[in-house]
Chains A and B, each alone.
Chain A
Amino acid sequence: AQKVTQAQTEISVVEKEDVTLDCVYETRDTTYYLFWYKQPPSGELVFLIRRNSFDEQNEISGRYSWNFQKSTSSFNFTITASQVVDSAVYFCALTTSNTGNQFYFGTGTSLTVIP
């Protein structure tokens, strides 16, 4: 079975602090993809990043970075120098080669950046 766990339900940080959102996944499939989505107060989920199971390189995009470690089945997301606009709910998701295009989502982490 596939499962995504986001143990942090809510996080609050002061603006300009760094924050890491944790994501742990479970799957027995060897081919899979991991995703992060951002859901601002407007409600629409916005795609942030996709990473496949064969590529463990970390990725950096501006203030955002992602750390993928197969050894710990984790795909963590770090925001550097957080801003108020980063306040949102963040979801980690998983699809696998054996489950077609079903997306398995974590329960989300609500991030509040305090000015």
Chain B
Amino acid sequence: DVKVTQSSRYLVKRTGEKVFLECVQDMDHENMFWYRQDPGLGLRLIYFSYDVKMKEKGDIPEGYSVSREKKERFSLILESASTNQTSMYLCASSLPGTVNTEAFFGQGTRLTVV
């Protein structure tokens, strides 16, 4: 069974902390994504990566960075957490190069910044 695993379901962090959200996939997918989900706004793309050490900014990259040192792992980093980054974060992966592939999602990490 294919799987995308996010390291935490729930996180509570303090303002100003550096926060790491980890995502691992076991499907050998080249593409990996980080989305943020907020009520009424749907899923918004933060960053995506189409290969190891490659990354592209999505629609809302400000305040975030990413790391992809290994194919199976894609990390989202909040350099200095702020309360407006309280949200649900979803990681996904997909096959490369073709348009007809669905994305597979992790279970989500609900982050609260206090």
Chain B's nearest CB lies how many Å from the CB of A112? 15
Segment at the B interface, from A12-20, A29-37, A78-86: A29-37
**Among B41, B45, B96, B105, which residue has its beta carbon within 8 angstroms of that of A45?**
B105
- Contact in complex: B106, A44 (CB < 8 Å): yes
B42/A47 in contact, CB under 8 A: no
Inter-chain contact A101/B31, CB cutoff 8 Å: yes
How many whole Å from B76's CB to the nearest CB in chain A? Answer: 16
Q: Is the CB of A91 within 8 A of B100?
A: no
Q: Size band of the A side of the interface?
A: 20 to 34
Sort chain B's interface into a size bin.
Answer: 20 to 34
Q: Which residues from A are CB-within-8-Å of B98? A: 101
Question: Is there an interface contact between B42 and A103, defined as CB atoms closer than 8 Å?
Answer: no
Interface mask (A39-50 → B, CB under 8 Å = 1, otherwise 0): 000111111001
Contact A105 B42 (CB under 8 A): yes
Neighbouring B residues of A108 by C-beta, 8 Å: 42-43
- Known contacts A91-B42, A105-B42, A106-B42; A35/B102 CB under 8 A: yes
For A110, give the chain B residue with the smallest CB separation.
Answer: B39
List which A57-115 residues lie within 8 A (CB) of chain B: 91, 95-97, 100-103, 105-108
Q: Which residues of B contact A96 (CB under 8 A)?
A: 99
* Contact with B108, one of A37, A44, A97, A105 (Cβ below 8 angstroms): A44
Encode contact with A along B7-48: 1 for CB under 8 Å, 0 otherwise. Answer: 001000000000000000000000101010000111101001
- Chain A residue contacts of B106, Cβ below 8 A: 44
Confirm or deny: B64 has a beta carbon within 8 angstroms of a beta carbon on chain A: no
In the complex, 25 of the A-B residue pairs with CB atoms within 8 angstroms, ordered by the A residue number, are A9-B40, A33-B100, A43-B108, A44-B108, A45-B90, A45-B92, A45-B105, A47-B103, A47-B104, A91-B42, A95-B99, A96-B99, A97-B99, A100-B50, A100-B97, A101-B48, A101-B94, A101-B97, A101-B99, A101-B103, A102-B58, A103-B43, A103-B45, A107-B40, A107-B42
